[in-house]
Structure 1
Amino acid sequence: MVNLFIGIDDTDNLDSPGSGVLADQLSRELHDNGLALCTAITRHQLLVDDRIAYTSHNSAMCFSAICDESGVGDLIDYAQKFLQTYAVIEADPGLSVVVDNGHFDRKHLISFGYKTKRCMVDKQEAYDLAKMLGAHLSEHGGSGIGVIGALAATGLRLSGCDGRYRGWHQMGRAGEVTTAGWLAGHDFIDGVVADDGTCLDDKATVMLTESNLKTVLLNGCRIVPVANDATSTCQPCWKTLSRSMMKRF
């Protein structure tokens, strides 16, 4: 069995389901067809610049997967056909599949991912890196610039410290107070972490700023980020982040 990172980008237009929806559908179909066991999807924010032809926010999607080594080729073929079928005609979709065999230059791929958050990058740089790493990288329509974000997303996911997990989770009513231990007791949450990187003790009190919360990827874990609640007068208390505050991840 081998570990894979699968990235897609630029599959949509303003009127179609976003790349996150397609990533979710692709991961389910890979599972349903016995091609891979897939994990949750992360959204990675890339550079926002008027010179970049992105749809709305210039974000790319990635999920990891496990499959039989002999089935990697079939998985790639399926993913390519999937994008050709479901990506909108006006889009510039790209696909990246990286086999994490422990022998490729992880540092270089991660560095590329972070570079796309700060700088303009061209397709050739992405293709050159993919070739050096032995990763699959392909474009499936339009200008194909989605290959940049697709490859970047795999590097950012591999870093273990970038991105928001797709989906919101209903945890209670806004204003309710619970504990970090209760939150971390859910199977999709590994821990609750403060702004300074401190992992909260199970007994720490946490107020739900909104009824829904989102998890982020930090130090290789799926965590709930919280901020200190300066309005609390009775005891140390933390609060989950609002939707607008979550945009920084």
Structure 2
Amino acid sequence: MSTNFPAGPLCTRDSLAAELRAIGLRPDDTLLVHSSLRSLGWVCGGAGTVVMALLDTLGAEGTLVVPTHSGDISDPADWGNPPVPEAWWEGIRAAMPAFDARTTPTLGVGVVPETIRNWPGAVRSCHPQTSFAALGPRASAIVDGHALDCRLGERSPLARLEEAGARILLLGAGFDACTAFHLAEYRIPAPRTDTSFAVMTPQGRRWSTVRDTSISADRFDDLGADFERERPVATGTVGAAQTRLFDLADAVAYAEGWLAEHRPGTATI
């Protein structure tokens, strides 16, 4: 009999919900979650169990929001991981499927957001690259009206979350994953850049290019470390995951000053 057991601890729906409450999650929270399923340990039921534990903790009056980004719907000229031959670029632009909020899969944000995207009752914003999905009574108000030329700014769900008094849960994820810091980039002097994607219009599929604020997660880990030292951040563990809970508006306001000081005018896509 093998004794090569999986890494623990054993996490269940009830144990996760209890630990989420212990860190300070409230039944009526509007919550933006960045997560790493692997960091939790061995979860009985996988990502679905994590979603149910979050919903149990938030209750009927709470709203759960996650990034459901799909950065592969973008100009192949900008791809680097991996790049594709320049001879393919025009063919990719012509053939890339248009973003569909119902069916386009997530990329690079983890299995929990992909699970929530497919959860009964979930709604999703319609930006081809930086959409968010939400469950709960405030879900539609948060995801509606996501402008094509505003990935993570004033006309995105991040600004609606700020207005709703949302909090952020980093569940095994680091500050480098904190999308709310990008909202601050829209509020300081920053370069502009062209952003391209395939969209569906009343006239059919179209390759579209818009002008938007240039964004970057460069030094978000340093920004987060300073924020955590100077501002209220609840910390603890859920399963085996290091977990942080804090106010979204506070994080954005702190990031505005920090980014203006530490990388003025240097953001790049």
The answer, yes or no, to whether TM exceeds 0.5 is: no
TM-score of the two chains, using structure 2 as the length reference = 0.25
TM-score by length of 1: 0.27
- The structure richer in strand per residue is 1
